[in-house]
Amino acid sequence: MTPEFWRGKKILLTGHTGFKGGWLSLWLQNMGADVCGFALSAPTQPSLFRVADIADGMRSVDGDVRDLAALEQLVAECRPEIVVHMAAQSLVRHSYAYPVETYATNVMGTVNLFEALRRCPSARVILNITSDKCYENREWLWGYRENEAMGGHDPYSSSKGCAELVTAAYRQSYFASADSPVVLASARAGNVIGGGDWATDRLIPDMIRAFLDDEAVIIRNPHAIRPWQHVLEPLSGYLGLIEHLWESGQAFAGGWNFGPADQDARPVRWIVERMIELWGDGARYELDTREQVHEAGYLKLDSSQARTRLDWSPQLDLAQALRWLTDWYRAYRDGQNMRSVTLAQIETYQALCCAADQGTSP
């Protein structure tokens, strides 16, 4: 990942008001990119987008990826060189209650964006961000590789598998020829964590809300194992992949996994117990004994391809990631300037990446 590459690049980022989109927006701004975001209003209150003043350094457009005409108009206006598609309905339990919304957003929203970009002369790189849940989960003990079958038990996971199939079809149909000016790839990450996530039915936000309200955290699936990683880890992978797509074209098109180290695939209970230690102040948890909807019990990514071909690797272990996010939420609780706090973590992480690239200590 080369910060100088991004200076002056024209970026279209869908989903910039979300958790991952907010972090990526701020990182791109900090590297001097010209960022245009397209998304619904921030999905939570509070939100990273608002508390870190993400809109201050970019063009922010309210819109819905289910609206093809709006996407076509935006693409014509902002003439992006690089497009990162993050807009999504991203919650498993919400998808059970609202499957039509989930498929319309995650599948047809992707189709709409690709349609708008098919006739965009400025576009050179498109990266569609999906999910580790796009794979047909067989509860294997080993990580899923990029050539494994797509699938999904619940509407959310299934919709992300569908989005991957849409990406492959558009790449093969419209963007695969050697002389195509556009290169299309997709990226899948694990369970991202970090400051500024307030989504419902997600472990870290649920814990933080309980800690701040001096209530017990209610835990649904203590034995479920997830590939936990700080949000900056996969984002650095996305940025590095885009640089390779820009420089080398079709050689890097396809699907890519960006997961944590194997030892950071941990059970929910392990995360909860360590967060309680870090937060202190009487933090505690209780088990939810009610019947729950189906969620994957074990899911892990194999990121060998990214490590080998992109020279990408995680810079934070899980213990460090938990400390970083705890520091972020404590700063928020204490009324600090959260744009500055967020940028400071980005700059520290970027220094780690640069030091790793150069084989030196930050």
Q: What is the pTM of this model?
A: 0.94
Orientation angle between helical segments 203-212 and 268-279, nearest 10 degrees = 30
Secondary structure (DSSP) of 89-154 = ---HHHHHH-HHHHHIIIIIHHHHHHHHHHT-TT--EEEEE--GGGB-----SSPBPTTSPB--SS
pLDDT of residue 291: 63
Tokens in use for 80? 């992006």
Domain at 8-356: CATH code: 3.40.50.720
**3-state DSSP call for residue 193?**
strand
**3-state DSSP call for residue 161?**
helix
- In the beta sheet, which residues pair with residue 59? 36
pLDDT of residue 362: 56
Chain-centroid distance, C-alpha 139: 22
Q: How many beta carbons lie within 10 A of that of residue 62, not counting itself? A: 11
pLDDT of residue 81: 98
Tokens in use for 338? 């959260």
Question: What are the mean pLDDT values of the chain's consecutive 10-residue runs (362 residues total)?
Answer: 95 98 98 98 95 97 98 97 96 92 97 95 97 85 87 91 97 87 94 94 92 91 87 98 96 96 90 94 83 62 95 96 97 97 98 83 56
pLDDT of residue 293: 54
Ordered alpha helix ranges (H), the chain: 19-30, 48-51, 68-78, 92-97, 99-103, 109-118, 155-174, 203-212, 232-248, 268-279, 304-309, 318-333, 338-358
Q: How many beta carbons lie within 10 A of that of residue 204, not counting itself? A: 23
